[in-house]
Structure 1
């Protein structure tokens, strides 16, 4: 069935499939863990029940997303031994310890305090419970730090030497961990996680507001907090992305050329190609719409700044512009859409109708999944832009794969597709059902002194029911 396919291509496709499933869950859980910490802290400071109600509402969703992220990550890591054993052998002396540190620090921290965060509030007290929640949030950030360090070293290797058997061995651990692209990529990814979470939280709040739950404190609070996050963090993310692009131009200029669709050298200023159809075979962009010299100004901050084109590299050393040209533009477009949504909400807030703006709420619901799309597009741009290397400029992808036959890799790929679609499809459906819970579950119009329980606020003695049985 797979005899006509290349085993390395199938291995790459399998890893791309599994990492695409995996990355959406950490991107969500990183931001959600910090959001839960903020909610818990606000309840401690203000004593308002709505914050604890929101905490109980979102902690269940976090638990499901966290579990799916862990499972998908473990499964993905096995591929280093099955499909990429040569890569593991050559980079193991460097990447192995870094991934081990991630388990010893971040994962143990998350696992140690997760149960307390989810189930221990009544047992340990609210202050220790807040501490446990903060430790889970910090653990997710530490995890992101180590994983981004590993991946950044593959993009911009530093602090290594190559021994007599072709292995990368450490010479300077500080240079390895804090390699040239690491700070930029870490900030960019963490901000992306916060924006992704904010869009989801804002979309859920907007959904309940559209259902005429405008008097529901939970829906109003989550929507307001999410829109503040969007309007504050989106411009910071755009600025961080610009710095990341400048760093990429310095260390991976071929990736930038592919992202921008530049095949020819531009010694006197390169145009910004807004749209077009890149053609790697003919080495041109068909039907392009461009703004003269703007690409040079963005990347070099000079109108006449020189930029290299893909023709400066041999064909077998170029990343595929036909793919990352578009993923990069989708990511950027979503980033500016996030900023626009935040500014729209700021205008509505200033006018005093943030909670009575149905078109703003519809836009927030539409944007709710866009953070995941942006994360996936950014990841594709980063990883495909590194091709044809696994360790940029040093170890080719074709030289990193295990000596497997195509049918073996293809069969496991099909198994992954079926199992992942079933399990993670069901998990995602369950998360969406949790988000669709009625307004009472997220701090409905109840007595401020009403007793609390996990998942919502229970009716107190002063609550009455109408003829339909609703509180």
Structure 2
């Protein structure tokens, strides 16, 4: 393997984006969870909702800050490592990223301050509105980022100028490229799944350690309700997104499924090892004919294989194949966990559960704890499928990744990659460990510490928490 500037730049961007995506995929869902908690507290005045809000808002504040910092690094890399890409696509990509700042980041930054520090200075309605607006801002941010990435997956609404650069001619087509609706829905649902799994794992851990409490039971059941509904819905949206890939990026689909020959009645490879050297799979465990039915809706449908494409136009099949199976495998486990939790909750509600409600089933609680990180792993695996599967293009069908890199040397990139690894290892690992410590402590004891009474908004958890719990 030749560690040239291109490969090192790709590794550096992959390394930083893998760290970054952890935080938005968590905070998008957590912001909405906080809005629901505050809304329920205002409606019911139950202390458990207030306590949960005060606890999770601390986790949100730290995660949001780390997401912003890690995102800034990515934008700088577009100029340092991918200057050709930035120069060519700036007339299209630049406005989309600017819209993200203007419509989402400013909204989040403005009302985040009210959300965290305004609980003694604003009324309950305004504080709740601030929490809702922060939640909306996280979704708007995801909207613009997915819009830009979807355009890169299937560029539309532009023209190529004489100097080789691009110019947008139809902003509606640029923003809403053909793959955008399903991809945005897929990412939003992934964020909600990620958050619900973390909340469920944290609540299950507290119950295993200290027994059921009103806060832990409420949070656990809310998490079960979320991933019991969202996980099956995500499977449907993922299938719709896959149909877009089959239609618009057939080489990526062939890599995802491990198809090498173009044929009808393609098998579904449960496991395989695609090998570019032999232009085939070294071993396969397959179900006959099911591959064509899953990808194209009919066993008689002809589905293209990788051999239809020139070797230089094929994505790395093994990476894409296995990343997809990690994502789907975890998704199936999420569906199973949601169905199990919903069944336990329903039995308990009907009075038939005995000691087998979700809070009393140790097997379910340990399963929920084990599934806590699954959302993050699935999100990273999904991005690997999307980005590695798009290769060898950075803008599909237009600009190759090899032509988009900056004219810099491998030594410069390797030095910055090493620096990133050291800094991230120290700062971000410490931050994540602190978040895990907060989650492990749980919402116990917040009622006494929080100077919030009925009629007041459950605002700043940072001020409400005792000094040793403040970040």
Q: Does 1:168 align with 2:188?
A: no
Determine if contact 2:344/2:358 at 8 Å carries over to the other structure. Answer: yes
**Structure 1 unmatched runs, 5+:** 459-471
Instruction: Verify: 1:341 aligned to 2:337, yes or no.
Output: yes
1:222 equivalenced with 2:219 (yes/no): yes
The aligned residue for residue 254 of structure 2 is 257
Q: Distance between the aligned counterparts of 2:98 and 2:243, measured in 1?
A: 31
C-alpha contact 1:31 1:193 (8 A) present in aligned 2? yes
1:63 paired to 2:61: yes
1:105-151 Cα shifts (integer Å, max 9, x gaps): 10000000001101211210111000000000000000000000000
- TM-score normalised by structure 1 residue count: 0.93
1:297 to 290, 293, 296: 293
Q: 2: distance between equivalents of 1:53 and 1:457?
A: 14
Counterpart mapping for 1:93-112 below 5 A: 93-112=91-110
Rounded to whole Å, the distance in 1 between the matches of 2:386 and 2:453 is: 51
Cα distance change of structure 1 residues 223 and 27 upon mapping to structure 2, 3 Å threshold: same
How do 1:275-290 residues align onto structure 2 when only pairs under 5 Å count?
Answer: 275-290=271-286
Q: Specify whether residues 418 and 456 from structure 1 end up closer, same or farther in structure 2 by C-alpha distance, changes over 3 A only.
A: closer
Instruction: Summarize the Cα distance change of 1:457–1:73 in structure 2 as closer, same or farther, 3 Å threshold.
Output: closer
Checking the alignment, whether the CA contact within 8 Å between 2:55 and 2:443 is kept in structure 1 is no
Pick the aligned partner of 1:361 from 358, 365, 370: 365
Structure 1 residues 77, 456: closer, same or farther in 2, change over 3 A? closer
Counterparts of 1:128 and 1:318, CA distance in 2: 53
Check whether the contact 2:55–2:442 (CA below 8 A) recurs between aligned residues.
Answer: no
Aligned residue among 395, 418, 429 for 2:399? 395
Q: What residue is the counterpart of 1:467 in the other structure?
A: none
Matches within 5 A, 1:362-441: 362-438=366-442, 440-441=444-445
Q: Secondary structure at the match of 1:308?
A: coil
2:155 to 147, 154, 157: 157
The normalised TM-score by structure 2 is: 0.93
The alpha-carbon deviation at position 212 of structure 1 amounts to 3.4
**Are 1:442 and 1:455, in contact at CA under 8 Å, matched by a contact in 2?**
no
Name whichever of 20-29 and 342-351 sits farther off: 342-351
Instruction: Tell me, in whole angstroms, the C-alpha distance in 2 between the residues paired with 1:341 and 1:85.
Output: 45
**Residue number in structure 1 paired with 2:236:** 239
- Alpha-carbon separation, structure 1, partners of 2:416 and 2:364: 45
Query: In the TM superposition, what is the alpha-carbon distance from 1:456 to its structure 2 partner?
Result: 11
- Show the counterpart of 1:323: 319
Compared with structure 1, are the counterparts of its residues 85 and 454 closer, same or farther at alpha carbon in structure 2 (3 Å cutoff)?
A: closer
Q: Any conservation in 1 of the 2:118–2:459 contact (CA below 8 Å)? A: no
Shift of 1:5: 2.1
Which residue in 2 is equivalent to 1:465? none
SS at match of 1:122: coil
Q: Secondary structure at the match of 1:274?
A: strand
SS at match of 2:444: helix
- What is the total number of aligned residue pairs between the two structures? 452
- State the 1:87 CA deviation: 0.4
Root mean square deviation of aligned Cα: 1.9
Mark the CA change 1:351 to 1:282 in structure 2 (over 3 Å): closer, same or farther. same
**3-state SS in 2 of match to 1:289:** strand
